[in-house]
Amino acid sequence: MEGRDNEEKGPEAEEGRNYCGRLSKSAQKKLLKQQKWEAKKAEKKALEKEQKKREGERKRKEWEERLASVSEEERGKLIESRKSLRKERMEQRSEERERNTERLSRAKECGQKIVIDLEFSHLMTPAEINSLVQQIMYCYAVNKRCREPGHLWLTGCKGEMGTQLKRLPGFDNWIIEKEDRSYMEALEDEKQNLVYLTADSENVVDDLDSSKIYIVGGLVDRNRWKGITMKKAEEQGIQTAKLPIANYLNMSSSQVLTVNQVIEILLKFLETKNWKDSFFQVIPQRKRCQADSEQSQQVKGGENGIDSEEKNDQFESKKQCAQDSTSQAPSHD
């Protein structure tokens, strides 16, 4: 894979692969810690998969034993009841898919435009690209379940990033704008409305303006590329802004959030019109100071302490959500 990437992207791919030599010792330690965590996560998922398989076998055996212990008449009733329950569940899922499709189609007409800028893939390792793909999948899954979904765009959707996204089951049927071009090209007639969201901006977002198009940098930077989105926006001559995080809570580290966290915060705000609730419901507890973490238990009734590790573990369940669109939703490339 690396050899092929290098042939396709030349010096840029080599730059992405050889970044370790330019890292400080502290950054290298952080990267090693991240790699160990990802390996542990993969091991955990494999274990969960095996446990799920064993649980399925146990339930199947119990079902067979139950059928064998009753009369033929009772057996027929049990089987019919199970078929009826499955049919009901399938109908409910079908109705949910239809509702999701209707909401997302309406969002393409009048929803808040939110762009994920995917022009940074040459700065990321394969593992980081995969991480970003998972985050994008999570973003789509969350958006399709919102009462007021946003009008999501993926720009710069090409190269290795585009290849990885196209491998996702059902991706071709996502009701989302997918552009090979940059946002500057795809939205050139609306340049005056482009707003790049970056923690380095001095401008603070008070409210989401439906006439604006908010851009989120699609970069898993691991602290290597600080200020890169701000610099890009300044060079392009477009507006910048940051979320009003500091107005509502104290961060225990930097205010840099993952792509899925930023998107989910924006979607929460579109529904609630309340920044405080949006931040406390989305930002992981480990990124907040102790006082804020305790306060958040009141905001969400004890639900909000979901660490990013736990959220990443939910990606597998979100895959099914994304795949649901395969059988129902029309293509919107």
The one catalytic residue among 117, 221, 292, 324: 221
Number of Cβ atoms within 10 Å of the Cβ of 59: 10
287 close to 199: Cβ distance less than 8 angstroms: no
Q: What are phi and psi of 240, to 5 degrees?
A: -130, 160
Q: Which distant-in-sequence residues (6+ apart) come within 8 Å of 176 by Cβ?
A: 104, 140, 152, 153, 154, 332
Residue whose entry in the numeric block shows the structure tokens 């705000």: 269
Look up 221 and say whether it is catalytic: yes
311 close to 137: Cβ distance less than 8 angstroms: no
The residue type at 38: E
121 close to 13: Cβ distance less than 8 angstroms: no
153 close to 183: Cβ distance less than 8 angstroms: yes
Buried b (16+ CB within 10 A) or exposed e, 183-217: bbebbeeeeeebbbbbbbbeeebeebeeebbbbbb
Token representation of residue 230: 């701000």
Give catalytic residues, as residue numbers.
221
